[in-house]
Amino acid sequence: MKIACLGTSANPPHLGHVKIAQLLLKRHLADQIWIIPSYHHVFGKPLLPWKYRWAMVKMITNKKIKACDIEKNRRGKSYTIDTVLALQNKYPQHKFYWIIGSDIVKKGEYLKWHKWSYLKQKINFIVIQRSGYKVGRYPKTFNHILRLNTPISSTEIRRRLARHQPFAHLVPPKIAKYLKYLQKHHLLKYHSS
């Protein structure tokens, strides 16, 4: 099976993640999408506790969109190369792809990834064109480029939550309800990894 992996801090997951998964399935670029929330963010980005992010990722799953907890089981920092090797070792019957946004390509952030030269030999990448991050010419490493207008970001959702502004139109209904519950009970606390 072709598995496209969406590594994310899922802080929180939103409709943009769902649209990416649906587009890849519609274009037959993958048989399944695995959403992989990071356990500890490599650059120390403040995150909601794992149990809340994991619960929300499971709320957007179905037959073709799966939640994968491989990073929780590995613990430690969430280096993409380690996750990729763990997936390939555990599921040798599958062909894996890694989904990234064009912002990562445009800013050259992928060059800072741990063991990048080794990683690019181990997995193929699917790039989602994000608004505001048009790339003129992609390096050969990125062979699948998809255009999808998804201006939604977890940062914007967190900002709206902090200011008590409407956010439900940016996330699936179950996640909106869950975030309201966390907010009501003062559980929306972000911790550094």
Please state the rounded mean pLDDT for residues 58-83.
90
Mean per-residue pLDDT for 68-90? Answer: 89
Q: What pLDDT does residue 143 have?
A: 77
Of 147 and 138, the structure prediction assigns the larger pLDDT to: 138
* Topology given in CATH for the domain delimited by 2-184: Rossmann fold (3.40.50)
How confident is the model at residue 21, as a pLDDT?
Answer: 95
CA separation for the pair 4, 42 (Å, rounded)? 21
The pairing of strands 2-8 and 124-129 is: unpaired
**pLDDT at residue 134, rounded to an integer:** 86
Extract the tokens encoding 150: 């998804």
With contact defined as beta carbons under 8 Å apart, do 193 and 47 qualify? yes
| Residue 126 CB neighbours (<10 A) | 22
Give the rounded percent of residues in the chain with a pLDDT score beyond 90.
63
Average pLDDT value over all residues in the chain: 90
Query: For the chain, what are the domain ranges?
Result: 2-184
Burial class (CB in 10 A: 0-12, 13-18, 19+), 186: exposed
Average pLDDT over residues 3-23: 93
Answer whether residue 192 shows pLDDT above 70: no
pLDDT tens per residue across span 29-42: 999 999 999 888 77
- Judge whether residue 58 has pLDDT over 70: yes
pLDDT above 90 for 188: no
Q: How confident is the model at residue 26 (pLDDT cuts 50, 70, 90)?
A: very high
What totals of helices (H) and strands (E) does the chain contain, helices first?
A: 8, 6
Q: What pLDDT, on a 0 to 100 scale, did the predictor assign at position 28?
A: 94
